[in-house]
Amino acid sequence: MADKTLVCRDCGTQFVFTQSEQDFYTEKGFTNEPSRCPSCRAARKASRGDSYGSGAGRGGQRQMYPAVCSRCGKETEVPFQPTNGKPVYCSDCFQLERGGGASHGGYRSRRY
């Protein structure tokens, strides 16, 4: 494969889809070529807030939701909208659950 010149679907400018980028796409199993130039991709990503680093570490504030710990009953806040029927844990109990005590069915004691 050689470098390819593509046209951005947002701004209409030409951009190069390099051999190494093509190899990366193939390695990751991506079947479509990029349809936006790097600038438009970055702008679109930023407008969606589509970044793992967009939380407090980059100046943003993470949305927190009130919850009651399913294990100890303490009021807490979690970074996701709690769903009825699914347990929610405070940070202390989450660490205990995550630690994998066999009586609580922790992650490490499960076989998949």
Largest CA distance in the chain: 60
Q: Kindly report the number of other CB atoms within 10 A of residue 33's CB atom.
A: 11
**69-83 pLDDT per residue, tens:** 999 999 998 888 888
pLDDT band at 100 (very low <50, low <70, confident <90, very high): low
pTM for the full model?
Answer: 0.43
**56-71 pLDDT per residue, tens:** 455 567 888 899 999 9
